[in-house]
Amino acid sequence: MTKVLIATVKPFAPAAVKEIKAVLDKANYDYTFFEKYNSQDELIAAVKDADAMIVRSDKITPEVINAAGNLKIVVRAGAGFDNVNLEAATANNVVVMNTPGQNSNAVAELAIGMMIYQARNHFEVGSGTELKGKKLGIHAYGNVGKLVAHIAKGFGMEIFAYDPFIPKVEMEAEGVTVFESAEELYATCDYISLHIPANKHTVQSINYDLLSKMKKGACVVNTARKEVIHETDLVKVFEENDSFKYLSDIAPDNKDLLTERFGNRCFFTPKKMGAQTAEANINAGVASANQIIAFINNGDTTFKVN
């Protein structure tokens, strides 16, 4: 019987767990939900006899992969797979997949929610501002960026985008003004919504060169990965642009310094909240289970990333 380990430090919503179980039961697979574990050692012990894994942002290190002698596939229930060591997986003939698009709406709604929260002064006394009429720059027009653009249009925002990997005509067909450089996007917009993955090209790439181009009062919303921001440069920009704002789904490493010095000009979720909805968990969790079954039973490698 194929054994699936669902290893989630941050568990799926109960409704998602129920649906994942139903999919695996129907396929006659064995499974274990290994939730809220406390250490990598516990994960290493739990993975021993797993044929397949479903994970979220859980760290799938070479040690985890090496400890899993039967492992054939890891599905990251989500978009970003920077938490999975692809080299170790490939070296051990383990297929890695993600589930693109399945949790995108949840992340997009959070990005808009954070903009509103900031525009309304964290819901404190006093007058705020509106999103209507403001310029929104989408940095990377993938599944999430596109949905943020769609929702923001409903608020009457003017949408701009920069994404060298998406054909310009596709973005323009959606009424988006496309820039050829990130610099232009940052110099033009009141809000920048980040949707780039974290990889060796993008880590710390949102740096002084880009952020210092932003207008007075401009705001960066990061529902991508904290690692893409150059945190030292961020402090410099906060100092120089006295109404610059930064919102991030998960706190940066220099969170204490930023909140102490710049107060309400920043906001950080205590834990990564972007995909924390029942709907996103159901979509990504069920897709993961189905992808594992399709791979084990039929060798289907759609969504393989290594």
Q: What's the angle, vertex CA 101, arms to CA 153 and CA 32, rounded to 5? A: 140
CB of 74 to ligand 3PG, least distance (A): 14
Judged by beta carbon, residue 57 or residue 85, the one nearer ligand 3PG is 57
Judged by beta carbon, residue 200 or residue 216, the one nearer ligand 3PG is 200
The continuous run of DSSP H or E covering 110 comes out as helix 104-119
Judged by beta carbon, residue 63 or residue 82, the one nearer ligand 3PG is 82
Tokens of 10: 């941050």
Tokens of 85: 């060591």
Judged by beta carbon, residue 80 or residue 145, the one nearer ligand 3PG is 80
User: Whose CA is closest to 236, among 217, 260, 253, 211?
Assistant: 211
Amino acid at 23: V
CB of 221 to ligand 3PG, least distance (A): 14
CB of 162 to ligand 3PG, least distance (A): 20
Binding site for ligand 3PG (CB under 6 A): 10, 56-57, 78-80, 103, 272, 274-275
CB of 80 to ligand 3PG, least distance (A): 3
**Cα separation, 41 vs 37, whole angstroms:** 9
The sign of the dihedral angle between the CA atoms of 84, 252, 195, 199 is negative
CA-based R_g, the chain, Å? 20
Residue with the closest Cβ to ligand 3PG? 78
CB of 274 to ligand 3PG, least distance (A): 5
Judged by beta carbon, residue 197 or residue 217, the one nearer ligand 3PG is 197
